[in-house]
Structure 1
Amino acid sequence: MAAESGTGAAERRELSPRSQQQLQERTPPPPAAPPPAPQAAPRRSPQLRVLLTPLPAPGRRLPQKRLLGAYDGAAGGDGKRRRAEPSSPERADSGSDGDGDGDSDSDSDGTEAGQDGSPQLSAYERKRLKNISENAKFFAALKLHESAARLHEIAAKGTSQVARRAKPRKAESGTVQRRSMRLQRIQPPEVPQVEAPAQEEEYPQVPAGPLPMAADGQEEKSETALLGTWLQLSEMKHNDTEKRTWDMKRYQAALSSMLLREDGVRKVVSSRVCSVAIHPSESTVLVAAGDKNGHVGLWDVSCTAEGGAHVFTPHNSSVNCMHFSPSQPAQLLSLSHDSLRCGDVSRAVFDEICRSEDGLSSFDFLEDSACTALVGLWDGTVAVVDRRTPGTSPELLADIGFKVTRTVAVHPVDRQYFLAAGSVDVRVFDVRWLRRSGSSAVSALRGHTKSVASAYFSPVSGRRVVTVCADDRLRVYDTSSLSATAALLSTVRHNNNTGRWLTRFRAVWDPKQEQCFVVGSMARPRQVEVFQDTGVLLHAFCSPECLGSVCSINAFHPTRNVLVGGNSSGRLHVFMG
């Protein structure tokens, strides 16, 4: 057996390593041996984590530093980092816990030693632990904790000793603060809550038809005196003196002599002045003004008392145009958006001549007797009105091809011709050739690039036309021949941008000097300017003491050296020579 076993062993020794491996795989495993006694796992170099704790306060013990265990993969088998347990005699004696981070003897510099006495910390870790211990000793020497505790005790004592100062009581006074019922949100018991009145009740509408000539809120005696003055002036016969034209030097001297005094300024109407008319009387200056609320004010300039001005309400809206009758100065014709009325002082009544829902813009007389009138409408048409026929409807309503008709003016010599100013068009038409549609113009005044505010013939011969345009130009045309296209004589650069709060400028001729016209100005100091038809500025009316606003609407007296200007607050300014 021994020989055979030795022979087999020799055969196994002669086998190649690969054959030996295959033979071992085929050989059944030997019976399991009893498990060996547990031995301590090989000690590995621990990974340390240091927990730093602040220095203890006086009387308190500083807890010991603990080193977190190394990565114990052999003993624990779970591969997790574990916290070191407190040291015990059993663990110290056995040393078989396998983590090696329990409390054990260390050398003087805080370096731990293993079972064989060799150091288990690296040089960097030993130096780090040494620096930590030295820093702890340094901070302990400063005694910061003792100082902080002392300051805390001092602060606690200070807050306990300081008492809160009580707020002083308000002195009780005999007067009690009053609060309005509005602040207390209490409705006055004596004033019952009622609905606000309708606009028609607050601002009553003027009815259609004739109206009595009664002033608003004025004394009857002063009103009677004013109407009596108007009637007396109208009955006086005027001297039929020839209208002569002065030379420019004399005319400029006459303009310079016209001054504005304190008694020449009066608030006649309540709101913005839209039209002005001067009575042709030579003895007394009687001025009429119409505002945007339908009021007509009459002012006797020679009367310095408060009763010299009276206000009437014949219209519901803006009074755009007014004229005294050329043949009967006792009649004042006024036009608003809804109606054309004639105020007759001899009968003390405002008659209604024409009424239209389309809106009326301006009018002019077709003859000296003032029986017929030409009326312009805001929708671009014109109407012919005859006062002798019953009713308030126009005799003819003609379309002249305008989008809007702002002003109309009848030729002073050839009454069949009239001038109409529209949005950007100014043309001359013949009344005899007016049609309900397709009315053609006789002459055209071209060159306007924006809306035209007004256009008027010269008052004596009608050979000139002056226009005011929103393109900041005053233009003068030659209409002596009434050709197809009127010739442009002169252009004056003029600021015509009045805005929404001022009435638009209208340039009107001086009846005494038809080569000159007057227009308002936006210049400072405030003034009213007079130009010659050549474009030369002849004179500027100004008064720093009495004139501080823009006079948009102006008119010359037909025979006297008198100029009247109206502003946006209802005031009239009278320059007299």
Structure 2
Amino acid sequence: MSGSGAAVEKAESRQRLQVNEYKENQNIDCISLRPVQTTLLGKTAKVYLVPFSLSNLDQFKCSKSLIGKNSNNEVACKKYKTKIKKTCGRILTPKMKATSSNADSTLQKSSLDVHTESNKPQHSNSDAVIIGVDMESSQDGDSDEDTTPGLDDFSGLSPYERKRLKNISENANFFASLQLSESAARLREMIKKRQPPESKRKKPKKTTNEIGCRRSMRLLNVDPSGVSLPATPTQPSLVADDETQPLLPPGPLEMAPKNRDDNKELFKGFLETWTAMSKTSSKNTEKGLSSIKSYKGNLNGMVLSEDTVQKVTKGPVFSLAIHPSETRTLVAAGAKFGQVGLWDLTQKPKEDAVYVFQPHSQSVSCLYFSPANPAHILSLSYDGTLRCGDFSRGIFEEVCRNEGSSFSSFDFLAEDASTLIVAHWDGNMSLVDRRTPGTSYEKLINSSLTKIRTIHVHPVHRQYFITAGLRDIHIYDARRLNARGSQPLISLTEHTKSIASAYFSPLTGNRVVTTCADCKLRIFDSSCISSQIPLLTTIRHNTITGRWLTRFQAVWDPKQEDCFMIGSMAYPRRVEIFHETGKRVHSFLGGECLASVCSINTVHPTRYIMAGGNSSGKIHVFMSEKNC
């Protein structure tokens, strides 16, 4: 019986070897945990299970060659089992769990296929198919049996299944010990219940006894002891604003100086001096042009001193004029607030030689001595009035008045100053005839411009005049003006920004110089008034004066009509003279005596005397030493 038992065990071992034998692919370096069905190009190994008995024991005897052939497969199988054990010892992730479940299903299917094939009575000595992990684990001699509580009911499972369930249970216990779900729930409740903190800042309580910031007692109108002072009566300001200053009454105004009230005899002598000087003055127009070399030499002899600098008006200078006298130096200045100041540089001391009048209520933008009678000075203002100051009678008579429009500039159409052309800020023009007894005749004409800044008459062909608008410059013929609307003969459209002035050359009118806010001075050839006037020269010059300085205006020198002068923003302060070709001829530098910008400048028609006015009402006169 013992021999038969040994034979039975030997047969079972042989049968177990036949069932589990397989041939591993020698080219695979590593074996995956997931069972993979492999299709062999050779013969397929099939396993048949038959009932065991002593009679057919010899059928299960394996030859020594078959056992030796499968010895290598057993070594590979042991390595594969070792890898499975190491993997099962780790904590399974959800992905590994899914993989192991797929492996279980594949193993079960493989086992089922083995039992199914056992019914087929076919035998084959070919290699066996790779059997699942469960059967390999059953051949493992290691004592890895699970003793985990709760797995006794699964005694029919393979050791691998028990090991896997043990790992799943340990992982679940580990994550349960971390209490992640409870922490997440508490965190969600904290987020829901948490509210943003209040950002309202509590205002400090005001204390009644708190000492405030210090303030000036003068502004509080109290004395040092804290007693309120009586209200002081407001005094009228010496400088009025253009918008608040009321219009002066129509008709003639008395020529009474505003800067002095006493010594009427001195003022009477001043008027007599101007009247007598105007009778003896003569305008030398027969003298030809001098060379540039001699002209520059004369300019170099003109100097500025403390005696030739004087504050004449109380506001910015908007216009200047020099009396054409050959014996005395008389300068007139038109200010922003309607004042006209007269300064006789020959009289000493210079403080007694200045007289200021108030013929207008707003800015005096244009000022000329009459070419027919230098004892008359004509002034035009923004308030819509044009007045003539007569020194012989001591009055400012009214030449033209238009309260509904503001005047900007004027010029004489006739050499005897009998007819004038007046420009309005709204683009209209007025023809004024002073020959009408008692009053002047005015004819309103509409132009093609929306605004006119300056107007100037041709010195030779006096029927032509030029106007400077916002962007364009027009030349008109006075014989073709129409009250409903006048079209210009020529339009100059080369300017890109606001235009400040445009003037003909003083003797021939063959050149036109313009001043524009694009920092360019332009000279045009106006020798032939045709449909087109060519541009000759463009000079780069800084013309940006800002809001506090009077705008620059380039004006010709009557003694040298191919040269003009203009103020400068450069340091040190200066007044520059340019030739029509664009070359700088001379710069008037006054050193310490010239510390401001002279925006408005004018030149004596025959003598080498130049006057410049700044935005504080001060006049600077450059003159040769022999004339001082």
Where does residue 447 of structure 1 map in the other structure? 494
Residue equivalent to 1:496: 543
Q: Is residue 342 of structure 1 aligned with residue 384 of structure 2?
A: no
Please, which of 344, 364, 367 is the counterpart of residue 322 of structure 1? 367
For 1:307, the equivalent position in structure 2 comes to 352
Q: CA deviation at 1:278?
A: 0.5
Relative to structure 1, is the Cα distance of residues 205 and 549 closer, same or farther in structure 2, using a 3 angstrom cutoff?
Answer: same
Residue 206 of structure 1: how far off its partner (Å): 2.5
Partner SS state of residue 587, structure 2: strand
Cα contact 2:602–2:610 (8 A) shared by 1 = yes
Structure 2 residue 227 is the aligned partner of structure 1 residue 186: yes
Using the TM superposition, give the Cα deviation of residue 352 of structure 1 relative to its aligned residue in structure 2, in angstroms: 0.6
* Corresponding residue SS for 1:294: coil
Q: Is the 8 A contact 2:451 2:470 kept in 1?
A: yes
Q: Secondary structure at the match of 1:545?
A: helix
Q: What amino acid maps onto 1:207 in structure 2? A: P
Code of the aligned partner of 1:254: N
Distance between the aligned counterparts of 2:560 and 2:463, measured in 1? 24
**1:294-322 Cα shifts (integer Å, max 9, x gaps):** 00000001123121110000000000000
Aligned residue number for residue 458 of structure 1: 505
TM-score normalised by structure 2 residue count? 0.61
Pairing partner for 2:456 from 379, 394, 409: 409
Q: Which amino acid aligns with 1:289?
A: A
CA distance in 2, matches of 1:394, 1:337: 20
CA distance in 2, matches of 1:560, 1:412: 20
Partner of 2:444: 397
Aligned 8 A contact 1:383 1:394 in 2 = no
In the alignment, structure 1 residue 277 sits paired with structure 2 residue 321: yes
- Correspondence for 1:214: 256
Shift, 1:391, TM fit? 7.1
Gap regions ≥5 residues in structure 2:
1-219
Corresponding residue for residue 485 of structure 2: 438
Q: Which structure 2 residues correspond to residues 161-240 of structure 1 after superposition, within 5 A?
A: 181-182=222-223, 186-188=227-229, 191=230, 205-218=247-260, 219=262, 220-238=264-282, 240=284
Richer in helix (by share): 2
Q: Residues 135-150 of structure 1 correspond to what in structure 2 (within 5 A)?
A: none
Question: Partner of 1:262 in structure 2?
Answer: 306
Question: CA separation in 1, counterparts of 2:492 and 2:555?
Answer: 17
Cα distance in 2 for partners of 1:180, 1:563 equals 49
State how far apart, in whole Å, the 2-side matches of 1:364 and 1:264 are: 29
Cα distance in 1, alignment partners of residues 552 and 439 from structure 2? 30
Structure-2 separation of matches of 1:465 and 1:185: 68
Following the alignment from structure 1 to structure 2, what is the Cα–Cα distance between the partners of residues 411 and 536? Answer: 25
2:427 aligns to what? 380
2:404 pairs with 1:363: no
Change (3 A) 1:514 1:239: closer
Match of 2:108 in 1: none
Equivalent position amino acid for 2:252 in 1: P
- Alpha-carbon distance change, 391 to 336 in structure 1, aligned in 2, over 3 angstroms: farther
Which stretches in structure 1 are left out of the alignment for 5+ residues?
Answer: 1-178
CA 390–307 in structure 1, closer or farther in 2 if over 3 Å, else same: same
Alignment check: 8 A CA contact 2:272 2:392 kept: no
The two structures, once aligned, show a CA RMSD in angstroms of 2.1
Q: Judging changes above 3 Å, is the alpha-carbon distance between structure 1 residues 180 and 299 closer, same or farther for their aligned structure 2 residues?
A: closer
Relative to structure 1, the CA distance from residue 347 to residue 436 in structure 2 (aligned partners, 3 Å threshold; closer, same or farther) is: same
Structure 1 residues 258 and 182, CA gap change in structure 2 (3 angstroms): same
Q: How far did residue 371 of structure 1 move?
A: 1.1
- The reply on whether 1:249 has 2:249 as its aligned counterpart is no
Q: What is the rounded CA distance, in whole Å, between the counterparts of 2:447 and 2:224 in structure 1?
A: 62
> C-alpha offsets along residues 18-69 of structure 1, whole Å, 9 cap, x if unaligned?
xxxxxxxxxxxxxxxxxxxxxxxxxxxxxxxxxxxxxxxxxxxxxxxxxxxx
Matched residue SS, 1:460: coil
| SS of residue paired to 1:388 | coil
Partner in structure 2 of residue 553 of structure 1:
600
Q: How far is the alpha carbon of 1:394 from its aligned partner? A: 5.4
CA distance in 1, matches of 2:283, 2:499: 37
Q: Distance in 2 between matches of 1:212 and 1:229?
A: 18
Contact 1:355–1:392 (8 Å) recurs in 2: no
Distance 2:521 2:283 in 1: 35
SS in 2 for 1:555: strand
- State the Cα distance separating 1:490 from its structure 2 match: 0.1
In the other structure, the counterpart of 1:3 is none
Aligned residues: 396
Does structure 1 residue 528 correspond to structure 2 residue 575? yes
**C-alpha separation between the residues in 1 aligned to 2:534 and 2:395?**
45
Q: Deviation digits for residues 453-498 of structure 1, max 9, x if unmatched?
A: 0000001000000000001000000011112121001000010011
Q: Secondary structure at the match of 1:500?
A: coil
**Residues 475 and 206 of structure 1: is their aligned pair in 2 closer, same or farther, counting only changes over 3 Å?**
same
Tell me, yes or no, if the aligned pair for 2:466 and 2:502 is still in contact at 8 Å. yes
Mapped pair 1:331 → 2:376: yes
3-state DSSP of counterpart to 1:395: strand
Q: 1:350 to 1:549 in 2, by over 3 A?
A: same
Q: Deviations over 1:311-352 (max 9, x none)?
A: 000000000000000010000000001200000111111001
What's the offset of the Cα at 1:185? 5.3
Shift of 1:399: 1.4
